[in-house]
Amino acid sequence: QVQLVESGGGSVQTGGSLRLSCVYSGYTVSTYCMGWFRQAPGKEREEVARIYRDGAITYASYADSVKGRFTISKDNAKNTLYLQMNSLKPEDTAMYYCAASYSSGWSTCPRDMNYWGKGTLVTISS
């Protein structure tokens, strides 16, 4: 069964960096879209970034609010999804979730993910 476990959250000051990790198991990596989502208190959950790797080609997209600051990557050999977060701002404070969904390709990657981790908390102080 598909399982996702996040780690790497913590508390840092504005301008700092964090790298989140998500160890995944229970599915064929090449057939799943994966992504990072976040939810702050009083706000709806939003997608931060998503990724799909098809052989030598990697597809990725980012929310406008994190472009140029965050980088999503995937290491299939280690069964790990990463989110490198730089130049962090107080607005980035949220619970961050790793998620995945089956897809045969990037073009059909669903908007809603159906497998989720439990989340890791990121707090940015001003």
**Whole-angstrom Cα distance, residue 52 to residue 22?**
15
pLDDT at 65 over 60: yes
* Secondary structure letter of residue 118 according to DSSP: -
pLDDT at 29 over 70: no
Encoded tokens for 90: 């107080």
Distance of CA 27 to the CA centre of its chain: 17
pLDDT at 28 over 90: no
pLDDT at 6 over 80: yes
**Would you state the pLDDT for residue 76?**
84
> Looking at per-residue confidence, does 26 or 72 come out higher?
72
Q: If you count them, how many residues does the chain have?
A: 126
Among the listed residues 27, 11, 18, 13, the one whose alpha carbon sits nearest the alpha carbon of residue 76: 27
Among the listed residues 63, 58, 50, the one whose alpha carbon sits nearest the alpha carbon of residue 99: 50
pLDDT digits (tens, 9 = 90+) for 68-126: 999 999 998 899 999 999 999 999 999 999 999 988 889 999 988 999 999 999 999 98
pLDDT at 54 over 90: no
Query: In this prediction, what percent of the chain has a pLDDT beyond 90?
Result: 75
Mean pLDDT of the chain: 93
